[in-house]
Chains A and B, each alone.
Chain A
Amino acid sequence: MDLKNVASLTFFCPEIILSVTILLIIALDLIAQSRRWPAALALIGCLCSLIVSFDLYSAQPGLLFHRMIVLDNFSIFFKVFSLSATILCILMSIGSNEIDKVHEGEYYALLLTCTLGMFFMASSSNLLMAYLSLEMVSLGSYVLTGFLPHSRRSSEAALKYLIYGGVASGTMIYGMSWIFGMTGSMDYAAIQLALSQEGINKAALFIAFIFILAGFGYKIVFFPFHMWSPDVYQGAPTPFTAYLSVASNTAGLAIMIRFFFPGMSKLLASGDWTATAGVEWPQVLLALSMLTMTIGNLCALNQRNVKRMLAYSGIAHAGYMMMGLAILNNEGLAAILFYAVVYMIMNLGAFLVVGMVSNVTGDEDIDDYRGLAWRGATVPAICLAIFLFSLTGMPPFAGFMGKFFLFSAVVKQGGAFAVLAIVAALNSVVSLYYYAKIVKTMFLDSPLPEDKQVTMAANNFTLLLPLTFLTILFGVYFGPLVQYTNYSLRFFIK
């Protein structure tokens, strides 16, 4: 299936619905200034889009809009994923004090724009589309990061994000221009074909690859392109930080998988992949993945700001997920998808509690968590502990299964990859230290007299408990999710 513009629209419904929602919000925002309806509208739009996305599974996979966009299970998975993350983020935003202060119509419109961009990121099959989608998400993100009025941290974060993102994406398109020059094409399939021909300047190709990595790297947040993230995570509004930490970097992984797998490696008849000769991208990613998880974890150890700690932990998790890419097998990719889902659940859960606490204390310092369990927030404390242990990778929580699949994919590859597995395993031990530090502060420390009682709004519980439940559920009954991720791992390549 290789469709022209108009014919493509049939398979473009989720995007169309989102676009309409965005426009509606903007338009209505001009007319009616109210507090609640933009969120509701955004929610409805996302839900509709979600339902329609599932409908696409019945469609035949193919390329849309003159091979700009690919429709396959992989892209549908990311549509569903991004929408789920967005929905959870909207629900979080509703309960957040920070978002109350901002102009809600714009906030939700921009949020949905980012989501729309992520749709394209996961389904682009063309360098141009890749760049456009990346920028679409980035531009929205810059604005949303700096969205808190009168917050120095927020504006500062936005500026850093903007400059960093600008340079990174500029570097990326510069690299892309070389790819284009060498292959004469923007289309992934054509690039792959051209690269496997003789006469390609491998050194130039490698340099181009490194340049492109900068753009992806800053989106996924891996070393050495991670430096913006702690500042941005700390400065951005918490619900958006949560969104950024799960949706944005996973979308980055999606675009990277698209680029490297159908674009820069070949699918063998056996179902395994082999990297295009001359560009040692698996080795580079291998090294980066180890460095990323190590540096992320090490930096997180001494953090006293919980959001910043979670930012570094997010870097480490990006490192874990990159393992799945670097080992170049389908188990690894499936593990990434699985990990992305459970990471979304547990990380959003963690940010949700962080948001709840900062609603009361106005800050995210670890001291604000002192004896949290004993000052009226026992259930959120337990939930946060579960999320954190899940992030560590302890059974019976979902995070364990995520790590389990990643590790098993690595171990299956065997040989020198054992080193990668050991590094990753030791990293999860290190990560326990800082996660447990929060748990320790919440449970083992006694609250001081000046610590405020933390009471939670009921609507927060309606989000918190399901997330906790899912974290446990996917830890003990993950079969369907595994099946779903395996099912989603079908690329349309032509």
Chain B
Amino acid sequence: MENPIQTDFIRWIVFLPLLGAIVNGLLGAKIQKSLGKGAIGVIACAPVIVAFILAVNGFLTLKGLPPEKRFLIDNLYRWIDLGSLKVDMAFLIDPLSSVMILVVTGIGGLIHIYATGYMHDDKAFWRFFAYLNLFTAAMLTLVLGDSLLLLFVGWEGVGLCSYALIGFWYHDHANARAGNKAFIVNRVGDFGFVLGMFLLFWSLDAQGHASLTFREMVKWAPSIQNMSLWGWPVVTVATMFLFVGATGKSAQIPLFVWLPDAMAGPTPVSALIHAATMVTAGVYMTARMNVFFSMAPATLHLIAWVGVATAVVAATIALTQNDIKKVLAYSTVSQLGYMFIGVGVGGYAAAVFHLMTHAFFKACLFLGSGSVIHAMHHEQDMRKMGGLKQWMPITFATFFISVLAIAGFPPFAGFFSKDEILWLAFTSDHGNKAVWFFALCGAGMTAFYMFRQLFMTFYGKCRADHHTQEHLHESPAVMTMPLVVLAIGAVFVGLIGLPGVLGGSQFAHWLEPVIAGHGESHASHALEWGLMAVSVSVASFGVFVAYLMYRKESLSPDTFVNLAGGVPYRLFNAKWYLDEIYQAVLVEGTLKLARFWSAFDAYIVDGIVNGVAAVVRFVSWLNGLFDTYIIDGLVNALANVTYWAGNRFRRLQTGNINGYLYGIIIAMAAAVYVKIRYWT
């Protein structure tokens, strides 16, 4: 592999948003007071837009290079240098990260602009943008970092910002708790991530190739092929650990519970962090480490099944939700599941492709829902909406396009990306029919619940109260413009990843330097057409059912609610009771453990210490009595004997001084006894 090309503009992609965050964070309150919210907005948006331009520049630079040279690096300084651990503060643009930074800065920029409108009435406007910029910087670090450790820096950084933004309206304890939950669940994932990182590092170190730099790690990956740990191949263990990290960040079973709660944050945050960028970090990471994952079939198998399970479980929950954002949240979880199915069947490129298209349409959906919520005065219950399309045509149009995209109707973006994953699940070496089948069911449910949402929100009669209805309005241009841009993306972006029968994927080709030759399959065109037809018809079926239930209302939802005694409905509606189980087992368990050990500390450990002291004091008290009572008592007894021996039956005569003297006699007698008994 050739040496990457040194540049010095990449750092600014990270630093500009960071600068925005610092300026707004430290001086935001003053700026907002003196220059107004507009200035804050400019300070926040400008760096992201400039970063986007730089990202495009990076992309074009890469494009101008032959594929094998498509690596741009910006090395700032040696960050850590200890023994074999040498980590640079260096940023890398290669085909994979170029896609990611375009998504992050592009969609991120749009969301920033949107947020200037959405958050306009908030007093802590500056703080919001400081966090948002910081998030962008962290996310860019995550995707640009040239080593696993730097990736982890971004990984944790986005977690922090996510925490801060979920709990942005911290006056409500529920929001703060949601933030905590997100952070702590993510920490569980991070725990796995670092262990995976350590294991890979030391395995490579054992082969003499210690490094955490992606290019080096990939280069030497084959060297650890035959190593094992605890009876498993090292790569399997390591990738499992890394995947634990991914389940945390990308909200997969069993760690997805934080994402729905994360909707407590402002809607732009949900769009940016919890739909378009941060939650996809796990997918990015697996794609980044694809060489290792490919070396571990067992892990891939696990990932595929976790992906399927997540996709289906989240979809079932989404079927029953009435909160407009909750539906989208579970839909996000479900879509992330699809991405992991892609990873699991070896289709990293397909997963990243779905990541990208999903970023467009899901951001659009979230922002659309934000627009609705904005209009509805922060009402999020879909049962109180309806018929909104007459008031909010642009929102409706963009939302409708995105729903089509996510439901998987050609030629919208979601169709190509999701179908690619289904196709790979069906045909690739790592895939199998069961995975494909369940994923297909999930796709049908997706179509159902998305259209359900569409119908409940924008069609029919408005169910909002009178006051709200009076004030319904389309959102300002600053909010609708991003919607339009994203909707356009949701329509067209899929075209860069056409299926094989339509000419093959440009996108997969672009990623080849990083993700080479994985997940390709060589089945017949007829099968490919056939599967496309199946998935479109399943989606159509879902739409049809939704139409019957929520548009024509000829089919009552209750039919399904009461199905099988209502058990499935209750299960779905209660999110499979996972929150309750986690709360009861893990949270309460930990707290109980904490209280137990704390009590142990206070009473047992400290008790022992104090006990020792008490014993010493007790002994000393005894000793204090020693002179007075013990010796005396002993002495009195002895005196009795003496008196008896002398036939003198008198009252005990020994006073204190006599007692002291007995001490002498006893001691001397004892010494002599010991001497005679033991020493001679």
Direct contact of A and B (CB under 8 A): yes
Give complex CA distance A211, B671 in Å.
10
Nearest chain A CB to B607 CB, angstrom units:
18
Nearest chain B CB to A11 CB, angstrom units:
37
User: Would you call B504 an interface residue if the criterion is a C-beta within 8 Å of the partner chain's C-beta atoms?
Assistant: no
Nearest chain B CB to A174 CB, angstrom units:
11
Given A160-B656, A203-B680, A284-B671, residue A224 in contact with residue B664 (CB < 8 A): yes
Given A160-B660, A302-B620, residue A211 in contact with residue B668 (CB < 8 A): yes
Which residues on B sit within 8 Å (CB–CB) of A159?
A: 657
User: Would you call A225 an interface residue if the criterion is a C-beta within 8 Å of the partner chain's C-beta atoms?
Assistant: yes
Q: Which stretch in B29-37, B127-135, B152-160, B621-629 binds the other chain?
A: B621-629
Given A160-B656, A203-B676, residue A299 in contact with residue B661 (CB < 8 A): no
Nearest chain A CB to B116 CB, angstrom units:
61
Contact B675 A280 (CB under 8 A): yes
Per-position binary interface string of chain B over residues 599-629, scored 1 when its CB falls under 8 Å from any chain A CB and 0 otherwise: 0000000000000010011011101101100
Given A160-B656, A160-B660, residue A202 in contact with residue B620 (CB < 8 A): no
Q: How many residues of A contact B (CB 8 A)?
A: 33
Per-position binary interface string of chain A over residues 407-448, scored 1 when its CB falls under 8 Å from any chain B CB and 0 otherwise: 000000000000000000000001001000000000000000
Contact B664 A214 (CB under 8 A): yes
Nearest chain B CB to A318 CB, angstrom units:
15
Give complex CA distance A490, B672 in Å.
33
User: Would you call B513 an interface residue if the criterion is a C-beta within 8 Å of the partner chain's C-beta atoms?
Assistant: no
Give complex CA distance A230, B676 in Å.
33
User: Would you call A7 an interface residue if the criterion is a C-beta within 8 Å of the partner chain's C-beta atoms?
Assistant: no
Contact A207 B672 (CB under 8 A): yes
User: Would you call A54 an interface residue if the criterion is a C-beta within 8 Å of the partner chain's C-beta atoms?
Assistant: no
Give complex CA distance A303, B628 in Å.
14
Which residues on B sit within 8 Å (CB–CB) of A284?
A: 671
User: Would you call A295 an interface residue if the criterion is a C-beta within 8 Å of the partner chain's C-beta atoms?
Assistant: yes
Contact A167 B664 (CB under 8 A): yes
Which residues on A sit within 8 Å (CB–CB) of B619?
A: 298
User: Would you call B266 an interface residue if the criterion is a C-beta within 8 Å of the partner chain's C-beta atoms?
Assistant: no
Per-position binary interface string of chain B over residues 661-680, scored 1 when its CB falls under 8 Å from any chain A CB and 0 otherwise: 10110111001100110011
Nearest chain A CB to B289 CB, angstrom units:
56
Give complex CA distance A167, B667 in Å.
14
Q: Which of A213, A227, A297 contacts B660 (CB 8 A)?
A: A227
Closest residue of chain A to B669, judged by CB? A210
Closest residue of chain B to A175, judged by CB? B668
User: Would you call A472 an interface residue if the criterion is a C-beta within 8 Å of the partner chain's C-beta atoms?
Assistant: no
User: Would you call A301 an interface residue if the criterion is a C-beta within 8 Å of the partner chain's C-beta atoms?
Assistant: yes
Closest residue of chain B to A202, judged by CB? B680
Give complex CA distance A42, B627 in Å.
38
Contact B617 A280 (CB under 8 A): no
Closest residue of chain B to A226, judged by CB? B663
Which residues on B sit within 8 Å (CB–CB) of A206?
A: 672, 675
Give complex CA distance A300, B624 in Å.
8
Per-position binary interface string of chain B over residues 509-529, scored 1 when its CB falls under 8 Å from any chain A CB and 0 otherwise: 000000000000000000000
Given A160-B656, A164-B657, residue A299 in contact with residue B663 (CB < 8 A): no
Contact B664 A168 (CB under 8 A): yes
Residues B619-669 near A (CB distance < 8 A): 619-621, 623-624, 626-627, 631, 656-657, 659-661, 663-664, 666-668
Contact B626 A299 (CB under 8 A): yes
User: Would you call A163 an interface residue if the criterion is a C-beta within 8 Å of the partner chain's C-beta atoms?
Assistant: yes
Q: Which of A160, A224, A230, A433 contacts B666 (CB 8 A)?
A: A224
Q: Which of A167, A298, A433 contacts B661 (CB 8 A)?
A: A167
Q: Which of A160, A210, A223, A297 contacts B668 (CB 8 A)?
A: A210
Give complex CA distance A167, B658 in Å.
11
Given A224-B663, A224-B666, A225-B664, residue A210 in contact with residue B680 (CB < 8 A): no
Contact A225 B663 (CB under 8 A): yes
User: Would you call A228 an interface residue if the criterion is a C-beta within 8 Å of the partner chain's C-beta atoms?
Assistant: yes
Give complex CA distance A159, B666 in Å.
22
Contact B675 A302 (CB under 8 A): no
Per-position binary interface string of chain A over residues 84-113, scored 1 when its CB falls under 8 Å from any chain B CB and 0 otherwise: 000000000000000000000000000000
Give complex CA distance A163, B661 in Å.
9
Closest residue of chain B to A171, judged by CB? B664
Which residues on A sit within 8 Å (CB–CB) of B620?
A: 297-302
Contact B660 A203 (CB under 8 A): no
Give complex CA distance A203, B663 in Å.
22
Which residues on B sit within 8 Å (CB–CB) of A210?
A: 668, 671-672, 675
Which residues on A sit within 8 Å (CB–CB) of B679?
A: 280
Closest residue of chain B to A297, judged by CB? B620
Which residues on B sit within 8 Å (CB–CB) of A303?
A: 624
Contact A299 B624 (CB under 8 A): yes
Contact A302 B624 (CB under 8 A): yes
Q: A168-B664, A203-B680, A280-B679 are in contact. List 5 more A-B contacts (CB 8 A).
A: A171-B668, A207-B672, A224-B663, A298-B620, A302-B617
> What are the 7 closest A-B residue pairs judged by CB atoms, nearest first?
A301-B620, A224-B667, A298-B620, A227-B660, A298-B623, A224-B663, A210-B671
- B interface residues (Cβ-Cβ under 8 A, vs A): 613, 616-617, 619-621, 623-624, 626-627, 631, 656-657, 659-661, 663-664, 666-668, 671-672, 675-676, 679-680
Please, could you name 29 A-B residue pairs with CB atoms under 8 Å apart, sorted by A?
A159-B657, A160-B656, A163-B657, A171-B668, A203-B676, A206-B672, A210-B671, A210-B675, A211-B668, A213-B668, A214-B664, A214-B668, A224-B664, A227-B627, A227-B631, A227-B660, A227-B663, A230-B627, A280-B675, A295-B623, A295-B626, A298-B619, A299-B620, A300-B620, A301-B616, A302-B621, A302-B624, A433-B613, A433-B616
- A interface residues (Cβ-Cβ under 8 A, vs B): 159-160, 163-164, 167-168, 171, 202-203, 206-207, 210-211, 213-214, 223-225, 227-228, 230, 280, 284, 295, 297-303, 430, 433
